[in-house]
Homo-oligomer: A and B are copies of this chain.
């Protein structure tokens, strides 16, 4: 599937593999999000992707978080986030409070109910993904993790550069 013409030089191969990795990552992202979207749509969850990632972040930091930080962390605009949090609130998965000192800030926290739901979704997702990774050697898992961590780091660097570019 990813074989190269043996007559091609090394540089061409590298260039091609480079583009192939991009392509495969794009495909995995698209397919993965679609599959996950369907999982989240099941009756027991009834969440959307933005709702899930928002709830996940609150679960991970396990503390109150102000709207603008939450928007940054989940890569959503503040305007969209308001609606997302509204819906999480209706489902009683989060709570909204005001910052005591600076009353402009709105703080959001997960409820126990929200934490439970995240745990259930993680389990379901784990089962779904298990069969996709099953065939990988344990050593390969380690390698994959190391490499993907580097890719993620690189992507976040791109983001920071774009952010600083705003006021350049």
Contact = CB atoms under 8 A, between A and B. Distances in A.
Interface stretch (A25-33, A62-70, A92-100): A25-33
Nearest to A129: B22
Interface string A121-133: 0000110110111
A105 interface: no
Contacts of A128: 158
A151 interface: yes
A1 interface: yes
Size range of the interface on A?
Answer: 35 or more
B141 A154 contact: no
Nearest to A128: B158
A92 to B, nearest CB: 24
A152 B31 contact: yes
A29 to B, nearest CB: 4
Contacts of A79: none
Nearest to A60: B23
